[in-house]
Amino acid sequence: MEWDWEFVRQIMPTLIEGLQITILATILGAAVAAVVGLVFAILRMVAPAPIARTTSFAVEFIRGTPLLVQLYFIFYVLPDIGIRLPALLAGVIGLGIHYGTYAAEVYRAGIENVARGQWEAAKATNLTARQTWVHVILPQAIPPMIPALANYLIAMFKETPLLSAITVLELMNQAKSIANSNYRYIEPMTLVGVFFLIMSLISVFFLRWLEERYARVDER
């Protein structure tokens, strides 16, 4: 079977349509993950012991099980108890919760990496809790988090093809339906790979830049 450029031109618009859904799902998923991660991190750090332990277990559980099965769970099991979600929303929630557990670790590590002396100095200079967080802790904790969070953003982007399994018409699913109706697999599948490769190569450069910009706060 030969590579057919005419066919490539023909299927491009459909693939671009899928790519848009892929990007949309990534952005929404990232937003959900950022918030969910914050909730998990706060619950683990400041909530009373039983709640903190339950959260820790939930985080471990979510991290230890495949995203695909979690998506199935959200998409197939929740309707049984009366929660019927559109496919894209179910996908975004699944991505958000899964990557939220990773984000929670990043938040926690970032906050714990702020030296103890900073907390003590804030107390010694009689700053309120709010002032301590806003002016002392967060400005030091957030910059080192950014490259790590961006890393997970890229990882999440690469996981979005899983949404095709719960009928979201993103890039992979569009490619599959093209392939199945024309019985030509080489072009659509290869193009999907190329799309992902291009997007992640771009994001790798972006990540390098972020790392140089933010990771080494103390060396500035």
Partner 1 sequence: MIDWSGYIGLIFEGAWVTVQLTLMGSALAVVVAFAAGLGRISRFMAVRALATTYIEFFRGTSIFVQLFWVYFVLPFAGITLTPLQVGVLALGLNVGAYGAEVVRGAVKAIGREQREACIALNLSRYQAMRHIILPQALPLMLPTFGNNAIELLKGTAVVSLISLTDMTFQAQVVRAQTGSTLIPFATILVLYFVMAWLISLGMRWLERRVTRGLDGVRA
We find the least distance from the C-beta atom of residue 66 to partner 1, in angstroms, to be: 3
- Kindly tell me which of 122 and 161 has the beta carbon lying closer to partner 1: 161
Judged by CB under 8 A, the residue of 172, 178, 207, 210 near partner 1 is: 172
Q: Which residues does 189 contact at the CB level (< 8 Å), separation at least 6?
A: 175, 179
Task: Find, among 19, 36, 2, the residue nearest to 191 by Cα.
Answer: 19
Residue of 153, 142, 156, 157 whose CA lies nearest to 213 = 142
What's the distance, Cα to Cα, between the start and end of the chain in Å? 56
For the bound state, the minimum distance from the C-beta of residue 197 to partner 1, rounded and expressed in Å, comes to 5
Nearer to partner 1, 12 or 204 (CB): 204
161 part of the interface to partner 1, by CB under 8 A = yes
Rounded distance between C-alpha atoms, residue 121 and residue 101, angstroms: 31
| Count of residues that bind partner 1 according to CB under 8 A | 36
Nearest approach, Cβ of 68 to partner 1 (angstroms)?
A: 4
Q: What is the Cα 118 distance to its own chain's centre?
A: 31
Instruction: Tell me the backbone φ, ψ of residue 183, rounded to 5 degrees.
Output: 50, 40
58 near partner 1, judged by CB under 8 A: no
∠156-160-163 over CA atoms, to 5°?
Answer: 140
Q: Is 34 in the site for partner 1 (CB under 8 A)?
A: no
Q: Which residues in the 63-92 window bind partner 1 by CB under 8 A?
A: 63-70, 72-73, 76-77, 79-80
List the one residue out of 140, 56, 164, 65 whose CA is nearest residue 105.
Answer: 56
Exposure class string for 61-79: b at 16+ Cβ within 10 A, else e? ebeeeebeebbbebbeeee
35 binds partner 1 (CB under 8 A): no
The only residue of 61, 205, 206, 209 in contact with partner 1, by rule CB under 8 A:
61
Sole residue written with tokens 């197939």: 76
Residue 192 lies near partner 1 (rule: CB under 8 A)? yes
CB nearer to partner 1: give 35 or 206: 206
Q: Does 204 bind partner 1 (CB under 8 A)?
A: yes
If one asks whether residue 16 binds partner 1 (CB under 8 A), the answer comes out as no
Q: Which residues bind partner 1 (CB under 8 A)?
A: 1, 60-61, 63-70, 72-73, 76-77, 79-80, 158-159, 161-162, 165, 172, 176, 179, 185-186, 189-190, 192-193, 196-197, 200-201, 204
